[in-house]
Structure 1
Amino acid sequence: MSDNKYTAEKTQYGMGEAGVTTPPGQQAQPIPGQPIVSGQPLPGAPGQVQWMAPPPAIPGCPPGLEYLTQLDQILVHQQVELFEAFTGIETKNRYQIKNALGQQMFFAYEESELCMRLCCGPQRSFMMHVLNNLNQEVLRVVRPFQCCSGCCWCAGCCDHCALTIAIESPPGQVIGHVRQRGSKWKAHYEILDANMEPVLKIWGPCCFCQAVCCTCDIDFKLMTLDESQQIGKISKQWSGITKEWFTNADNFGIQFPMDLDVKVKGTLLGALFLIEFMFFEQQNQ
């Protein structure tokens, strides 16, 4: 992406040049030279946004992912797109990424082509740019277009039928992959390191009850490689009847061990985006 296009994207998604990400709809601007204090709203926007304090650099940790070393849970809230809700035309997705206290640490936005969104829907290729509160891109999720892929029956016997995404941090340097695996009916994924070696597995439920009357969460279990122990989960959380009925903006959560490798934590964030597009991106009817 060129510098001019990247600057335009930051402006479009509410990220000014003052050094602090301001999500769309928020008019808050930081006072120049004033540090962001953990748990304190930005000046001019009391009670609207709370920011997680930037942690110090950690040796061996990809720059910008230091936040994840302090967490065992992540909340991901997709922002409602009114134009999409009223017209049904698929727009670029945007997400706020927070800790368990609701303090924002990342903001993610999708880069994709309009033709791809209109013709391919949730099967489209995309780049998901993840920025910290200083407008620095700290993680990138790359999903190539794969025609006739995604079927759980075929994914196990033919690699080109299995959906695969790459996670980069910093952008351009791969830290992990997520690969769909074959199964009879359950969603099944492998979490891979940069060398394509399996690290963890994810198993989804047998079926997905997305009816408005169902207020339960939908869990994808995070398992050890030998599947002997569940160590966490990725959950699609109930968003409320209005949001569930009229939009396809969803809330998600990730739980994992505190001492899990930070690169694996970043890869799990990429796995969440893949799961969201595969199972929950379709416009609710």
Structure 2
Amino acid sequence: MSSYDMKPTIQWMCTPRTTSNCPPGLEHLAQINQLVVCQRFDMEELGHWEISKTYDVMNNQGHRIYFAEEKNNWFLQKICGTVRPFTMTIYDNVGQDVITIHKALRCSSCLSSCCLQKLKVEAPPGKKIGYVYQYFHPFLPKFKIKNENKEDVMKIRGPCLISSCVRSLNFNLLSLDEEMVIGNISRQSSGFVKGLLTDTGKFGIQFPYDLDVKIKALMLGASFLIDYMYYEICP
């Protein structure tokens, strides 16, 4: 894990009690209805062949819940760009990896199902809790959230027009029939969390308190996928 997470600029959220029906490390998610994901930018990493993208995952009070890190080499990032494969490791306050997100190398074209983006989420690492699959629509960015058995449980629908330089866009979390909005993933303006104006990228994730913690973790994974697909070119 990068030493960046040891910087004392952000206070960690208090560790909750463990529960028998919650995967280890996801206990924080049972207590909240909102996450804020902020990408960090370290000037010291410029010029290195090894690129490490790091994020703070916080509650709406600005307390850090998790620290996320994607390590990639410069060559793969430059050649494959936003469609590159990656593994994102998410750590708790003691440096224990609690969530792992795997994205396969996929083409950027959405005209064929074999090219659509997908990722797998594990919590704890090695134990699948679900998947996020992009699926084809001629006008809208759409995704399906699947459980560990690859059964559809919810959908995500984005806006018709997406530009990486538009700062506030919503991707709605929907019921399977797309009739009910359950939550959303949104690109946020710099004022979303007070005192964090130096972040290069910021996403807000909202969901009901009583939503399954696995679905909350899958929404976190979906936010990284959306970030890489639509916003990485113009942070």
Alignment TM-score, normalising by the size of structure 1: 0.75
Which region of structure 1 is more displaced relative to structure 2, 229-238 or 89-98? 89-98
Higher relative contact order, structure no. (Cα contacts within 8 Å, ≥ 6 residues apart): 2
More strand by share: 2
- Distance of 2:11 and 2:230 partners within structure 1: 30
Correspondences of 1:98-113 after superposition (within 5 Å): 98-113=58-73
Answering whether residue 16 of structure 2 is matched by residue 55 of structure 1, we say: yes
1:283 Cα offset (Å): 4.3
1:196 counterpart residue number: 150
Answering whether residue 143 of structure 2 is matched by residue 206 of structure 1, we say: no
1:90 Cα offset (Å): 8.9
Pick one of 144, 167, 172 that aligns with 2:104. 144
- Distance of 1:125 and 1:208 partners within structure 2: 22
Pick one of 120, 136, 141 that aligns with 1:166. 120
1:68 counterpart residue number: 29
SS in 2 for 1:140: strand
Instruction: Supply the RMSD in Å over aligned alpha carbons.
Output: 2.2
SS in 2 for 1:118: helix
| Structure 1: runs of 5 or more not aligned | 1-9, 15-20, 29-47, 241-246
Amino acid at match of 2:3: Y
Preserved contact between residue 51 and residue 72 of structure 2 (Cα < 8 Å)? no
Answering whether residue 9 of structure 2 is matched by residue 13 of structure 1, we say: no
1:218 counterpart residue number: 169
Name which one, 1 or 2, has greater alpha-carbon Rg: 1
- Distance of 1:209 and 1:235 partners within structure 2: 13
Preserved contact between residue 109 and residue 130 of structure 1 (Cα < 8 Å)? yes
Amino acid at match of 2:22: C
SS in 2 for 1:92: strand
Preserved contact between residue 40 and residue 199 of structure 2 (Cα < 8 Å)? no
Alignment TM-score, normalising by the size of structure 2: 0.90
Preserved contact between residue 248 and residue 283 of structure 1 (Cα < 8 Å)? no
Answering whether residue 130 of structure 2 is matched by residue 181 of structure 1, we say: no
- Distance of 2:133 and 2:108 partners within structure 1: 10
1:129 counterpart residue number: 89
Q: How many residues align?
A: 229
1:148-204 residue CA offsets vs partner (Å, 9 max, x unmatched): x243333xxx2x212110000110110010000000121100000000000110001
